[in-house]
Structure 1
Amino acid sequence: MNETIIDATPLPRDKAPQVDYRDQVANFSIGEQVTGQESGASGTILADDDQGLRGTLTLGEVTGEFQAGEALSGSNTGSATADTGLREGIWVLDFSFKPLRTRTIDVPGMGRRTVLYLYYRVINQSGKPRMFVPQFFLETDEGKRFPDVVLPQAVEVVKAREHTRPPIVGAPLLGAVSVTGMIPPSTKEEVDDAVHGVAFWILNDEIARSDALSVFIRGLSDGLQYGDDSDGEDSGVRYKTLRLDFSTPGDEFDVREREFRLIAPGFTWIYD
């Protein structure tokens, strides 16, 4: 079964990397690349707050570290001097997953139970080590939320099913507790630079009778927001969260794996 790869492109409301500039000689153009002539750092210009000789570039797809005082050059137009080094924006880990699947296992104290699981992999393409402390919540169409559960005995069952083909045969599969930790930056896009994980939920009556389910995942980014919600009330802190949506049109008394279907486009980034 194919994995769905999540688009990690920053949202318009995300805090993006920025570089202040001075002594502008030629105007920069949005959409072009800007390069630091000493550091070799580069990024795509998403916005330019041009104040004449001074301004601020908002960047995407940044590689390297811009340095204060170095010359900045656009790929076709634009020339200035960096007044500051790079002010880092938020980071986002690359994430891919398979649709919700099921297995029946022995749960201590509960006997034989059917569990839902979300099999996923994470790759750190941010260029720096990042602390990965994921939180998974499953929400029914009635608004009831369930955190993932710790089922170490189920991890090996899933591993035997999912890690059967090269090059991931023998790769570790981590559960809710063991997956937490520092993820080093990846040097390539190969599977051996990925962290493989699985989240579990015990299939109860509320989940079984739901016609739609959503999985919310925190910890893939350090993005957060403060402010008011749509009703003008203080919403406190909201975290950048990935939402996955599934339809479950089957029989609640005979739940089958094929009934958990990803709803196109399949994912949404929100602040929750």
Structure 2
Amino acid sequence: MLSSELIFPLLQKQFYAQVPFPMEQTIFVQAIEAFLKFLQEPSHIKNYIDFTIAPQHRRGDVGFKHREAGDHLYNDSKDFFHFHPALFAKYTDFLSANPVVFDFVSKAKPIWDLAYKTVYDVLFSLEKKFPGVVSKVFDAEYPHLLLRFLKYDWQESGKYLAKPHFDAGSFTLAIAESSPGLRIGSCPENLRLVEHKLGHAIFMLSSNFKQVMDTDDMFAGWHDVIQLDDTLVGKPFARWAIVAFIEAHGVTALPRSETHKWYKGEIVD
């Protein structure tokens, strides 16, 4: 049973909390393998699923996206897919006709389900301190919890795989990763490498959390991902990760100039 007495001090002190996420590692690996097969599909198949569960939110889009670091100062080189179970009803015929896509999203669903339960339990534990925080997220036709499957392209060892930023949402749950590299702090000066505990997920506050929780005692998690293993340089990809983004309904998303406000260019300590 999660309690605010455990989670609240961790969020204050280290800007994240590792919370139980009891799922076998093989489930993550099978889902990622299915995701990598999905990435080999033709462009018109990969991009076919495309809708939003929250038009006003930057993290509301469901479907596939590709980003190139050279296209924008804040971009990283990556492929990702935002999963939400609402896609099953919206794309029944398409999924029936495309077994690679169906296999991927079917393997994503159990992870999304446990992420939903985990985030609900975390917010429920904080409900006494922050009344209404559960309903602000979960009382909606489509609770805004998107599961991101992510493949980072390799860069020179020591360079950023994900540039420093706040996530564009209320909360983030980092569920699984292929290798270390995630650093979390409240600002550039206190970033620390996180050792992801087996059987746990990493919960942190995101840029919009103060629209959901009225407090000056906690800070959003400023974070990045760095390349630590130079043996991965030149490989097809450097790292995979599975992350859930959570947003309350009815809030206004911050612009990228705010979520990336301290990043001005390539600096890795």
Scaled to the shorter chain, the TM-score interval is under 0.3
Question: What is the TM-score normalised by the length of structure 2?
Answer: 0.26
Larger Rg over CA atoms? 1
| The structure with more helix, counted as a fraction of residues | 2
| The structure with more strand, counted as a fraction of residues | 1
Of structures 1 and 2, the one with the larger relative CO (CA 8 A, separation 6+) is 2
